[in-house]
Structure 1
Amino acid sequence: MRQIVLDTETTGLEPEQGHRIIEIGCVELVDRRLTGNNFHQFLQPEREIDAGAIEVHGITNEFLADKPRFCDVAQDFVEYVRGAELIIHNAPFDVGFLDHELKLMENPQRIDTLSAVTDTLVMAKKMHPGQRNSLDALCKRYDIDNSHRELHGALLDAEILADVYLMMTGGQAALVLDDQLGQQGGDENAADNIRRLAADRPPLKVILADESELEAHQRQLEAMGEACIWHKQP
């Protein structure tokens, strides 16, 4: 299972008003493990960045002056995401901008023809109705350290969202690892510990009880008499 956690930064809020993507950040997960095969690119948008947007992400027109345009990296991006499941927080925003950029190409495509899309904001609203579900709020809820996130950044936010997504979808895995995490030291980040332990753990070996062990087990149950709730099972 290949998943791409994706985020973008833009010159403004509306592609219909001519705003463009200026940064794409992608983090790859294969079978829920980070692979390090990331995609990160700053882009020259061929227009000025809104002052309000600069306050959010800190990316300036001067910084982007010598960066490639979207059309220069589009083929690499398309091949990178093709066939994967995209994990995006507030997906309509990012997908809308990506579709707008792809529409400007000679052979226009749409994201939904390349990849399936999962919106973690929709997931969070279902899991935590009536609560704040911004990326910062989810980091706080799942005890994920985002203290280094002074400004928005596509790759940084994708990395943080990967941690959030793994915690949101971990189910019982987080509970099973609680004792192990405590032994690792309280100062370490819980999501980092879960990823490391999952990556280092070998495949579980299933060992079935042999006939003598099953007989010994049955004798133990009989010795417990009526106190054994197993006897009361239908």
Structure 2
Amino acid sequence: MEAYYRLFATYEGSKDGNLVRVLHKIKAHLYQNSHEPSALVISWGEYKLLFEKTGIDLRKEMVKKSEVKEFIDRQQGRHIVLGYKKYVTYLYFDEQVASKKVIKATKPREAKLLTVPLIESLEAFSEHIEITPSKCVFIDTETTGLFKADHVIELSVVDDVEDTLFDSLLKPKRKRKIHPKAMAAHGISEDRLAGKPRLIDVQQDVEVQLKDKYAVFYNANFDVAKMLHSSDGRIFDNCLGVVCLMKIYSEVNEHRKWIKLVSACDAQNIDYSDLPNHRACGDARKLARLFKVFYPKLMVALDNKNNQTLELF
């Protein structure tokens, strides 16, 4: 511990306000929890900033989320949790803290893990050659906002012919006000959610539609996180995988930035004038239309990729 405090003392006078904030966050945690185990959550950006500026590498081991519990059981010590997409990094300082108490501290995060494949690149898509439009359902959500604590307040699931499998307004799982910017986008007010079910209340109805299907989202990282947060964390357990069309579309078209759903539809000459914008059902149908039009081009891109791989040998 003394070594860390010496490093903190060296950089506390830094002009980099973000660095100082991260250092104080860790230092305060170590000081306040010197006797009681607890988990400190640090963003991936904070970890990188700390490493680049000070050379302090907190990371000890990267583990897949499915291995998190087993990893904690093997370790002794205070753990710091770093969240990064489908991986979680657990770090430890004090080897004399009982691991079972740390499991209790991190249990809420453990319950919200995606347990099926996340398909967000050509390479990942090539490992699931059975994916066709008819094997997919297309999902979109509207939420109370863009932050981690926000909830799903509208969810729509459609099939490849745009038949509605599930469509409902939803009450937040916990009391959460709708952010004004979010309300301005989708037009859903809190009054309209009165008497509506929570996602966790109708979760089984959604799971039935996802069973043995690939769940296609446009921005999967956002929508999946919100659905896991608003449910019991097992809503995707019976589907075959989750597809992020936004990232795959951008990779195939060599876009450096993510493309909005309506921009991708425009680029593919898809008519969506009959569908509302920023509503779950309308955007889910746009997504289905985009996937069906884009699917042949995706197959060509996969063939080209495979041919390039063969040429290397």
For the criterion TM > 0.5, the same-fold answer is yes
Q: Give the C-alpha shift of residue 146 in structure 1.
A: 2.8
AA aligned opposite 1:67: K
- Alignment root-mean-square deviation, CA: 2.3
Q: Is the 8 A contact 1:98 1:111 kept in 2?
A: no
Structure 1: distance between partners of 2:152 and 2:287: 19
- 1:215 maps to which residue? none
TM-score by length of 1: 0.63
Equivalent in 161, 171, 187 of residue 44 of structure 1? 171
AA aligned opposite 1:165: F
- 2:295 maps to which residue? 169
Structure 2: distance between partners of 1:136 and 1:20: 23
Equivalent in 241, 247, 257 of residue 116 of structure 1? 241
Q: Which blocks of at least 5 consecutive residues in structure 2 are unaligned?
A: 1-133, 300-313
Structure 1: distance between partners of 2:278 and 2:231: 23
- 1:142 maps to which residue? 268
Alignment of 1:60-99 (within 5 A): 60-99=189-228
Q: Give the C-alpha shift of residue 80 in structure 1.
A: 1.5
**Higher RCO (C-alpha under 8 Å, 6+ residues apart):** 1
- Looking at CA atoms only, which structure, 1 or 2, has the larger radius of gyration? 1
Structure 2: distance between partners of 1:118 and 1:172: 13
Matched positions, count: 163
**Closer, same or farther in 2 for the Cα pair 1:26/1:67, shift >3 Å?**
same
TM-score by length of 2: 0.48
Summarize deviations over 1:121-159 as a string: whole Å, max 9, x none: 111111212366211111111111233556400110000
AA aligned opposite 1:19: D
Structure 1: distance between partners of 2:280 and 2:216: 13
Structure 2: distance between partners of 1:144 and 1:89: 15
Identity %: 29
Q: Do residues 59 (structure 1) and 188 (structure 2) align?
A: yes
Structure 2: distance between partners of 1:115 and 1:41: 23
Structure 2: distance between partners of 1:24 and 1:152: 12
Q: Is the 8 A contact 1:58 1:151 kept in 2?
A: no
AA aligned opposite 1:53: A
Summarize deviations over 1:56-86 as a string: whole Å, max 9, x none: 1111111111211122211111121122101
Equivalent in 145, 158, 172 of residue 12 of structure 1? 145
Equivalent in 286, 290, 304 of residue 160 of structure 1? 286
Summarize deviations over 1:142-187 as a string: whole Å, max 9, x none: 11123355640011000011111111113499xxxxxxxxxxxxxx
AA aligned opposite 2:166: F
- 1:189 maps to which residue? none
Q: Is the 8 A contact 1:89 1:161 kept in 2?
A: yes
Q: Is the 8 A contact 1:87 1:118 kept in 2?
A: yes
Farther off after superposition, 64-73 or 5-14? 64-73
Q: Is the 8 A contact 1:8 1:23 kept in 2?
A: yes
